[in-house]
Structure formats: C-alpha cells, structure tokens
Amino acid sequence: MLRGGEFIGFLVLAYLFGSWPFGYRIAKWFKGPGFDIRNYGSNNIGFTNVYRTLGPLPGFLVLTADILKGLLPVYACKSVLGEGFAAVCLLAAALGHVKSIYFYVVEGRFSGGKAVATLAGGAFALQPLVMTGVLAIFLLVLATTRYLSLASLIGAYSAVALSNAFGLGLEWNLVFAFAAVLISVTHWRNIVRLWRGTERRFVRSTGEAKSDEIPLIVFVIHPTSVEDLNQSAMSAWLAKLTDHKIVPMWFIRWITRQSPVLELDEQGVIEMNDGSKVRPCIWSVPLLPSDIKALTTPPTVAEIAVSLRRPEPTASDERATLVKEWVLRSEVMRSLQSAAVHAERRGVKVMGLGALLSTFGNGGGYLQEWAKAKGLKIVIDNGAANTAASVITGIEDLAPKPLSECVVATVGASGFIGTSVVRALSGRVGRQIAIARDERKLRNLDAEVVSTTDLASIVDADVVIFTTSSARPIITAENVHFLKCGAVIHDNAIPHDVDDEVLSVRPDLTISRSGLILPPGDYSSRVNFHFGTTVYDGKERQLFPACLIQAVILGATGQYEHASCGAMVRPKDIEFFRKQSQLLGFQVIVTDISEPEVFAGASS
C-alpha cells in the first residue's frame, strides 16, 4: 500500500514538474512580463521556437530545462521504485508538458509544448544505450534534411525499433511506442506541412527566401460533401471509410465534430498590381453543411434553456442573450475560437469566414466579441461587402436590359449579403422584390422594395439573385416554373441554391455564378473551392470566392475598418472593395453553368 502511495506521489510530482512552462517563463525573463512566446514564430513554448525568436542563449536554456523535466522525476522515481514505475513517470511528465495545468489555471484551457526534449531526457536516464542510438539517428536526419520535426519523428520511431533490436522486451517496446505516438500527435501540423512541402527548416540554406516576411491571412471554410474530406491529408481516411462502406455515416459525422481545424494550403502567394503580396492560409472546419446547419440553427428558447440548465426567459433581450450563449458553446464556435487563437499567434491580422461559416454567430460578430474579450487583436471578416460588390458587377454585365428597367428579385434578402445587395441596388433598378423566410427581418428595407415570403413572387423578375445559406437547393426541376421565361439567375450561394438539373428542363434560363474572382498573377491553390476555372491569356486559371479575396485585400491594404463583421454591411465598404479590386488587379468573372463541376461539387 505504501509503495502504491509513493508511486501516485511520484506520478503527480512528475506531471506537475512537466507542467511548468520553462520556455514560456524564460522568454518572459528575457523580453519582459508582457511577452508571450506563443504569439511568435511557430507559437510553441519549446526550444525551436525560442531559439528562432530570441536567439541561442534563451533557446538552449529552454532545451536544458525541458530535458531536466523528464530526467529529474524519472531518475528520482527510478532510485526509489525502479525502472518500471519510472517509465510511467516519464509519460506523466511528458503529458504535463503537452497539457500543462499551469495554463489551465491561468487561462482556463490546457496548452503546452511537443514533449520531444522531455521524453528524451527521461529516456536517457532509463535506457542510455537506446537513446545514444536515437541521438545519432536524430542528428543524421537533422543534418541531411534540416527539418527538426522530421528528425524528431524519425528519432521517436527509431527508439521503438532499437528497443526491439536490443531485446528489451514488450514492456519497453510499448513505452517507446506510446512516446512515439504522443510525439506524432503533437507534431500533426508539422506532418501535414511536411506532406504539403511547406514545413519550415530549422536552419535555412544560403539564399533561401524567408516566407514569413510575407503577410498572412487566414480563410476558414468547410467541406461541401464527404468527398471534400479528401482535400486534407488528415481527413482523407474518413472519406475512404465512407467510400468503402466500412463505417456508417453517423460515425463519420461524430468524428468530424471532434476534429480540430485543418490546415489545407498556404503555399501560394498573391502578388498584386501595386507590388504588395499576401499569402492566403486556407483552413477548414471539417463539418458538413447539414451538420453546420444543425449546430448553428438554435432550437426553441425553451429547449436551449433546458440544455443550459437555465430558467426560460420571458423578456426579448434575455431570450437573445440565451441564444447567444448557446451559439458560443457550439462545436462550430469552439473550432473558430481555436482557429482565431492559432491565427493570431502566427501573426495573422485578419481571419475570413467562408460559405456557411460566414453567416454563423451573427456573421462573425459573436466571434469578434469573444476575441476582443480574450485580448486578441485579430479582425474577423465574413466577406459580405466584396461578395455583394461582385454580385452587383455580375448583374450589370448580364442583365437582359438596362438595370433601370429590370425587375430584380433577391432570395435570401434578410441575410448579410442579400440585405447588402438590396440596399446597394435601391434606386438603381426598375423594381425590387425581397424574399425571405422571416418577413419580420425585411421590415428595415426601403419602402420601395416589395417584401414577401412567397417564393412564387419571382415569376415577374428579369433577374433573380440567390444568396441564402440553405443546405439544400431552393430551385429544382420541380419548382423551376416559378422563373420567368428568359430570366437571368445569379446563384451566389455555397452550397448552391439552384440545382444543376434545372437547365435540362429550362434551357431558356441563363444561370450564372457571381462571386467568382480571378486574382492577378498566376496564383493557384491546391484547395478545390468548386468555383471552376476560366481561360485567361491562353492559360486555364482557378477562380476564387469573393469573400476570400476580401480578406486578401484587407491584408494587403491594412484598412481593417472596412471589414465585414456582424449583420450590417455599409454601402461605402462595398464601394471600397469595388475600387480596390480594380486597383490591385482582381477581376470579377461571371460564368454560366456550362461546366457541371462548378455546381456538382466534384473534387479534383
């Protein structure tokens, strides 16, 4: 019993000692109490980031301290209880380093490092012969590739191989295997960047460009179908499980709800006409449209009150506060909060939201409020202004007659983009019809606008604009008779509001996609946005959503006061992006539905 008590005591002490963030504290010692090493470089508290950010002396102090994190508690436990108990203490110290209770107490969430030095220090105290071989392999890989992350990963798995080769037994093989898996988990972002070819080397070769000197923007999207999970190396296995019917769909949806934000691409750079450059980082919340709608559409106030264990409110402001609290606790919000923190620590100034995420949480308004409350300076942008600007440009290009003579209907007029388009077109068209599910949300529109909830009212419209956030098509072969003969349809929604089968029934219609932007230069992304391509100067070029380009323009100009966040989009912001798009070389492309993949959501 005494021996068991001693073991538990050593476990607790090992975890607590491992939890002390030496890198975080040493960085403050060198730079001052207001300095947070997690806001620089790779955002990690370990040796590599401290070395790159602050120099050799603080870097090697952190390396020494992190090695002692593992060595001292393991050596102490080994002296009293033996190697077997000490090996478990090593894993406890490593867990403390990765999930530090220090940050939980101070910040309310677990944070930490990657545990390579901590595991190495403790393992040397237990199996010096194995670790000497591991060190040799680690240094060889680092010297030949200059990738510290790759050297750490190969070193971790070489420990398993050497343990087996030296005949240490199943127990030691399992200990080293657990350590290797833990290092793989803490390096999962590095693994993706190694796979993509975007991982940063520990030491640059002569003349190697410093990619981190180019401003970054983050754009967060979500898959439009299960097939889109193939676009990330970290989630492609889920799509394969579905393709082969190995697991049911409900399991895939449960897994994606637990998944972190995925980094899809950050390899390309957009160089604009004025010489400014921006590197877009495309991230993904791995949730399908139906799941996002289920997670972001509040149930009744009574159901929310029950789920939050609150009394049901009666006053309207109390009901709104309760709904806001429910949204802030959703899986989508937690994913976006994590993305915002990670983006700021990478030095990102603006984070754009795409597709259904652009309307979530009051159009990013709740996320922006949360970020400010947490002391984050990052700007949240839903892209509504530039999207509205591209819609207006598309209408001007394809309208069957002058806008002043056209009847224009906007479906989804109560949303951010729909409202912006209706207001921007006020006084410029013959007659406007605004259509939404909730007529109360249309009361603030101009008196000249006809407001209705009846979709059939589009029958008189020369131009119909779709800007809803519906997870399913609104116009199908069954109700396409609502559309006027020869009408021009602008489908600006993702997922699309107009089913791709419509033209087989109504070839008289002109269906176009607005919100498509051709950037200057030859920028392309490995991410398929399902917006298709266009031929420009004899080359096939990828098209991009206007909401992504809005974040790029904000990053290039630094005029963050024009960001779209919340329910209102000002006309002056729409004009700002129309002007900047022309100055910087972004072209609005209006395409028809001649290429089915634009609408079908097929991955390439």
* pLDDT value of residue 123: 92
* pLDDT value of residue 206: 43
- Whether the pLDDT of residue 94 is over 80: the answer is yes
Mean pLDDT value across residues 318-339: 69
* pLDDT value of residue 297: 58
| pLDDT band of 159, cuts 50, 70, 90 | very high
Pick 413 or 604 by higher pLDDT: 413
Share of the chain above pLDDT 90, in %: 32
Round to whole Å and give the CA distance between 207 and 209. Answer: 6
* pLDDT value of residue 529: 86
Mean pLDDT value across residues 399-411: 90
List, in sequence order, every beta strand (DSSP E) within 382-532.
Answer: 407-411, 431-435, 450-452, 463-466, 488-491, 510-518
Round to whole Å and give the CA distance between 13 and 19. Answer: 10
Q: What is the CATH T-level fold of the domain 385-600, as seen in this structure? A: Rossmann fold (3.40.50)
* pLDDT value of residue 601: 34
Which run of H or E residues covers position 88? helix 83-98
Q: What is the token pair recorded at 251?
A: 């399991």
Whether 404 contacts 395, CB under 8 Å: no
Whether 28 contacts 35, CB under 8 Å: yes
Pick 548 or 5 by higher pLDDT: 548
Strand partners, 434: 410, 451
* pLDDT value of residue 306: 54
- Whether the pLDDT of residue 554 is over 80: the answer is yes
Mean pLDDT value across residues 461-465: 92
Q: Give the N- to C-terminal CA distance of the chain in Å, as an integer.
A: 62
- Whether the pLDDT of residue 195 is over 80: the answer is no
Mean pLDDT value across residues 246-252: 69
Q: What is the token pair recorded at 121?
A: 């220090």
Round to whole Å and give the CA distance between 510 and 487. Answer: 6
* pLDDT value of residue 602: 31
Share of the chain above pLDDT 70, in %: 83
pLDDT in tens, 412-458: 888 777 888 888 888 888 889 988 887 777 776 765 677 788 888 89
* pLDDT value of residue 308: 53
* pLDDT value of residue 374: 80
| pLDDT band of 594, cuts 50, 70, 90 | very low
The contacts of residue 597 (CB under 8 Å, 6+ apart) are 530, 532, 604
* pLDDT value of residue 600: 35
- List the domain boundaries for the chain: 2-196, 211-383, 385-600
Q: What is the token pair recorded at 178?
A: 């657990």
- Whether the pLDDT of residue 379 is over 90: the answer is yes
Whether 264 contacts 527, CB under 8 Å: yes
Q: What is the mean pLDDT of the chain?
A: 82
- Whether the pLDDT of residue 256 is over 80: the answer is no
Vertex 236 angle, CA 234 and 240, to 5° = 145
> How many of the other CB atoms lie within 10 Å of CB of 78?
20
* pLDDT value of residue 120: 93
Q: Which amino acid belongs to residue 229?
A: L
* pLDDT value of residue 603: 32
> Which of helix, strand or coil describes residue 411?
strand
Nearest in space to 116 (alpha carbons), one of 36, 186, 44: 186
Mean pLDDT value across residues 571-599: 75
524 burial (CB, 10 Å; 0-12 / 13-18 / 19+) is middle
- Whether the pLDDT of residue 503 is over 90: the answer is no
Mean pLDDT value across residues 561-575: 87
- Whether the pLDDT of residue 304 is over 60: the answer is no
Strand partners, 435: 411, 452
Cα-flanking dihedrals φ and ψ of residue 563, to 5°? -65, 150
Round to whole Å and give the CA distance between 307 and 154. Answer: 46
Which residue in the block uniquely carries the two structure tokens 């009051």?
Answer: 362
Q: What is the token pair recorded at 185?
A: 């988990």
- Whether the pLDDT of residue 411 is over 70: the answer is yes
Round to whole Å and give the CA distance between 68 and 73. Answer: 8
Strand partners, 302: none
| pLDDT band of 209, cuts 50, 70, 90 | very low
The contacts of residue 403 (CB under 8 Å, 6+ apart) are 395, 396, 425, 428, 429, 430
* pLDDT value of residue 257: 65
Cα-flanking dihedrals φ and ψ of residue 370, to 5°? -60, -45
Round to whole Å and give the CA distance between 40 and 44. Answer: 8
pLDDT in tens, 100-128: 898 888 877 777 889 899 999 999 999 99
| pLDDT band of 173, cuts 50, 70, 90 | very high
